[in-house]
């Protein structure tokens, strides 16, 4: 029975560490974030973090995997509740849910930081896997064409750009061209 308690405790610690890692890496990026900052945010020792995640790279990949799980859960729920069962209606519901999700700067910024660290093979691999999962979900749930799914993903990247640069604060014509009619803020 004590083994089950240890597993349960380790699982709880893993979840706590990943939540902290997602937040801290989102703030500082991969290169600038020491594992000690993740440990401090999680309220545990750096040694215990390394016991569960032997390198910073493994920890960052686990945080990215959690980020993609959150996105997948959000988009799946949106597809399930889309009022219009058409491909366009489902993609619209998924897009609106994603736009609301990235108001959480952690979910948004860890993706941005992962793209900037994609020269690290393990990071590139997790970004590719996450993107593949999202594309497959969008295609399967909506039944939309490849072109429509491509536009859906491109729209999400545009949302990233608008939110990270606070374009909605600008009333310049060029900025309005990008954000006008968007529902992400």
| 184 in any annotated domain | no
* Domain boundaries, position 170: 2-179
Q: How far apart are CA 181 and CA 13, in angstroms?
A: 42
User: How much is the pLDDT for 1?
Assistant: 46
| 20 in any annotated domain | yes
| 185 in any annotated domain | no
Q: For residues 46 and 88, is the Cβ–Cβ distance under 8 A?
A: no
User: How much is the pLDDT for 20?
Assistant: 98
Enter the pTM of the model: 0.89
Block means of pLDDT (10 residues each) for the chain, 185 residues, are: 56 94 97 97 96 97 98 96 93 93 92 96 97 97 97 91 89 90 60
User: How much is the pLDDT for 7?
Assistant: 52
| 170 in any annotated domain | yes
Domain tally, the chain: 1
Q: How far apart are CA 92 and CA 46, in angstroms?
A: 43
| 128 in any annotated domain | yes
Instruction: Report the chain's terminal Cα–Cα distance, integer Å.
Output: 49
User: How much is the pLDDT for 104?
Assistant: 83
Q: How far apart are CA 46 and CA 49, in angstroms?
A: 5
User: How much is the pLDDT for 84?
Assistant: 87
| 157 in any annotated domain | yes
Q: For residues 71 and 131, is the Cβ–Cβ distance under 8 A?
A: no
Q: Which of 78, 53, 77 is nearest to 65 (CA)?
A: 53
Task: Determine what percent of the chain falls in helix, strand and coil, rounding each to the nearest 5.
Answer: 80, 0, 20
Query: 124: exposed, middle or buried (C-beta count within 10 Å: 0-12, 13-18, 19+)?
Result: middle
Domain CATH number, residue 81:
1.10.357.10
């Amino acid at each position: 029975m004590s083994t089950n308690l240890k597993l349960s405790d380790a699982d709880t610690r893993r979840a706590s560490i990943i939540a902290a890692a997602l937040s801290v890496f989102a703030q500082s990026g991969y290169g600038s974030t020491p594992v000690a900052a993740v440990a401090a945010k999680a309220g545990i020792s750096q040694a215990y973090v390394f016991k569960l995640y032997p390198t910073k790279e493994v920890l960052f990949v686990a945080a990215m995997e959690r980020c993609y799980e959150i996105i997948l859960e959000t988009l799946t729920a949106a597809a399930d509740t889309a009022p219009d069962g058409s491909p366009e209606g489902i993609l619209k519901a998924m897009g609106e849910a994603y736009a609301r999700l990235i108001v959480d700067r952690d979910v948004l910024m860890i993706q941005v930081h992962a793209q900037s660290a994609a020269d690290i093979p393990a990071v590139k691999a997790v970004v590719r896997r996450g993107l593949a999962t999202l594309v497959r979900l969008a295609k399967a749930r909506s039944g939309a064409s490849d072109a429509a799914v491509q536009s859906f993903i491109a729209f999400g990247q545009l949302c990233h750009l608008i939110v990270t640069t606070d374009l909605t604060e600008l009333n310049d014509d060029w900025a309005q061209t990008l954000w006008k009619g968007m529902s992400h803020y």
